[in-house]
Amino acid sequence: MNKDLKGMCFFLGMIGLAYAAILVVVMLFTGFKILKSIVFISAFSSFLVSLGLTPQVKQRLVQVIKQKVAR
């Protein structure tokens, strides 16, 4: 995949995750029932972020997560 396309996927994914975090805060303060939307936006944004990451970064993230879980 082209580097520019990977960068755009990563950028859009991070914006989506930030938007989902803002929605969680709104949901906590107002009581709106928007959980399904938050889950969908988070899943899609995570997919975009994973498309934007290089294989080396993905391997390092998996290693760090495994170390944190093993503790």
Domain boundaries, given as residue ranges, for the chain:
3-70
Alpha-carbon span 27 to 32, nearest angstrom: 5
Indicate the average pLDDT of the chain: 89
Tokens, residue 33: 């029932």
Q: Are 53 and 10 in contact (CB under 8 A)?
A: yes
Side chain identity, residue 68: K
Share of the chain above pLDDT 90, in %: 46
> What whole-number distance in Å separates Cα of residue 58 and Cα of residue 71?
20
Least confident of 1-5, 6-10, 45-49, 60-64: 1-5
pLDDT digits (tens, 9 = 90+) for 22-48: 999 999 999 888 888 999 999 999 999
pLDDT band of residue 53 (cuts 50, 70, 90) is: confident
